[in-house]
Amino acid sequence: MAQAHPLALPLLNIHAKGGYTVTLEIGSEKAKVNLIVDSGSSTLVVGQLAYHPEQDQSLTATTFAQEIRYGIGGWDGPVVHTDVTIGNTAFAITLEQCPVAVVSSLEQRETFGGANGILGLAYHQLNPSYDLEKYLIEHRITPAKTFPWPFSDAGSVHHGDGQTPFSSHDLARFKAFLKDHPEQDILPYFTELETQGLCANKFAFYSQRSSIHMATEQPTKAVLAADPLNQGWLILGGGKEQTHLYQGEFQHIKVEHEVHYNVTLLGIKVAGFELIQAAPLKPEYQHFLTNGIVDTGVSGIMLTDVLFNGLKQNLAQLAQKQLSQSSASITPPQDFIALIDPFSDLDAQDVGIDMDKLDLSLWPDIEFVFAGHAECDGTPHNDHLDGHHHDPHDPQPMTLICKPHDYWQLNSPIKGKACFKIIGKLANWANQTLVGLPLLNNYYVIFDREEHGSGVIRFAEQKPPQHNSTTPI
């Protein structure tokens, strides 16, 4: 089979509070939807504002339903089959009768932060659906399909004998209800492209921000969209050929499991301090598989308690060191802890702090050290670490650097404000680090699923933005 041509798709971060979206066309009406590019999930899901399924002449209803929850938010709804088009002005791909999940309620759209849905790029284990045919027939739901959605009103679902009826708005109970029905994984959209030979089994991701850049007061969406800092690229089926987007050699991390893009994090290192070691997963979280995932759909970095507390301790020590040296310097020290403390409340991302309180020249680089991967393309993957050539078959720890201007986002959420993009562990999450956009922003990242079974993730330094005016091929 001939190698499919890479498909270069422009991204914008203005629709999803800093998350990057790609535009697809759904259904007979070719409704344009802006979907979050998410390597941390696998479902193609859309809401019912940009897309109107009742008007879609290409729609085929099914007996399947899905319920998906993320670190924050979630949704449920029917699975339908319809036509989905992705592409650019030069070339587009249409998948006919592609599985699409449709969000059941307007309230659940808040999960997408202003986008119209999510394009999940992970593996099929994260895309389960449940066949409700037996339930639909037994309860005389006509037609015996999940679209139109029959579970909106309280009392529509009876989970077991003698239990209180409930609606699908209760995601936890609705999930329990679904578990009583036959499960079937849906082939994710990107996997379907690759399976049909329309796309090589890899994609690349290029971004520069993890929050919307607000260069002026109250800018219009058109102004925001035209700002190069709010733009990016998704390269489906390609990566290395986009040489104008990166420079130098690639480093590699092995994907440990075909679920999320699971990686092993050895620890983090604040410049000038010793490595803070990352703990392995606790026994009760072994189903999370590894202690880290690389997730393009997360606009921050979520550290485990051990790593986040260690980071704060190092920053407090650095503040003391700067304070002791301040008498000999004209630069006032930074109270690092006081500056980041407001962001223990996630709502602070919508407020920020005054940007003029920050002197990023005093903030340290933060290194993320991963279990590396042996040479897989003839390129030594980490010679830069110590200046010596390593045996390519003996993988060494691999280091990525998160710079102050990436973990602090300036001119966000409004001009003159700034947001800190590293948070501690969410209460309902495992002791697993979510490696999101602030670390990826410094790199051109290729998720290469063709290499070594479960794949590798390649990282190369981005070229400066002024060199990125050429449209990818």
pLDDT of residue 132: 97
Give the burial class of 140: count Cβ atoms within 10 A of its Cβ; 0-12 exposed, 13-18 middle, 19 or more buried: exposed
Find the mean pLDDT for residues 440-465.
90
The two tokens of residue 291 are 């202690």
Asked if the model's pLDDT at residue 315 lies above 70, the reply is yes
Q: Mind listing the pLDDT tens digit for each residue in 35-69?
A: 999 999 999 999 988 899 999 999 999 999 999 98
φ, ψ dihedrals at 34, nearest 5°: -100, 110
Residue in 117, 119, 135 with CA at minimum distance from that of residue 127: 119
Distance (Å, whole) CA 103 – CA 44: 11
Q: How far is CA 131 from the centre of its chain?
A: 28
Q: How far apart are CA 104 and CA 108, in angstroms?
A: 8
pLDDT of res. 396: 81
**Preceding amide of 219 cis, omega within 30:** no
pLDDT digits (tens, 9 = 90+) for 158-201: 655 455 666 778 888 899 999 999 999 999 999 999 999 999 99
Question: Position of tokens 């690092």?
Answer: 336
For 258-283, the pLDDT digits (tens) are 899 999 999 999 999 999 999 999 99
Flag whether pLDDT at 382 surpasses 60: no
d(CA 41, CA 32): 21
Q: CB under 8 Å, gap of 24 or more: what pairs does 326-335 form?
A: 331/359, 331/361, 331/362, 332/359, 333/362, 334/358, 334/359, 334/362, 334/363
In the chain the domains, ranked by start, together with CATH numbers, are 7-195 (2.40.70.10), 241-467 (2.40.70.10)
pLDDT at 395: 65
Q: Are 298 and 436 in contact (CB under 8 A)?
A: yes
Say how far apart CA 181 and CA 215 lie, in whole Å.
51
Q: What is the pLDDT of residues 111-159, one digit of tens each?
A: 898 899 999 999 988 899 999 999 999 999 999 999 999 997 765 676 5
Mean pLDDT of all residues in 394-408: 91
Residues linked to residue 100 through DSSP beta bridges, in sequence order: 80
